[in-house]
Amino acid sequence: MTAIELLDLVGKYAGMFVTTALGAGAGAYLGSYLKKKGENLATHEDIDKLLEQVSAVTTTTKQIEAKISNEMWQRERKSDLQLKVIDSVNRLTSEFIQSVMADLQYRPTLEWYSAFSAADATVRALFDKETYVAYKNLETRIGPGLKSAGGIDYAVHEFIEARDAAIKAMYSQVIG
């Protein structure tokens, strides 16, 4: 082999070596670059999914909080109304007892009956059936002279027991 052929052969191999080295370097760089880009894209997609999940959980949490808040407000409002009717029944029955004690033939006024009737409707609307039955037991004992087989003192005593039972039933519903 001549020197020129040898140089030509060395040049070919050197060219192939340089081309191979450059190709391998470029391939390694490009492969590494694409791998990193793929990882970043996957991470970005994972973050987007996590953000969607967090957003959904946050929205659901806020809806639950709003519902609980509304239910609490409704319970508090109902309790306030129940306490007002208990106060009204207590006041009306105390007024009735005092009036009967002062005059055995006492007849409540139309205004008193009207207030007691309004209390009846409110008790029926705000309390359970058992409490309403206790209230109605009290109502049946209202009348002129509080007649009872045991006499007036016994009739007043029965009325007071019926009142106490009704009020206790109402308070039990409000405060448990």
Which region, left, alpha or beta, applies to residue 11 given φ > 0 means left and ψ of -120 to 50 means alpha?
alpha
User: Which pTM was predicted?
Assistant: 0.62
DSSP helix/strand/coil, 70: helix
Tens digits of pLDDT across the chain (176 residues): 677 776 677 677 777 777 777 777 777 777 787 787 777 777 878 787 888 888 888 888 888 888 888 888 989 999 999 999 999 999 999 998 888 888 877 788 889 889 998 999 999 999 999 999 999 988 888 865 555 544 555 677 888 899 999 999 999 999 87
Contacts for 136 with CB less than 8 Å, ≥ 6 apart: 120
Report the C-alpha gap between 62 and 103 in whole angstroms. Answer: 61
Amino acid at 30: L
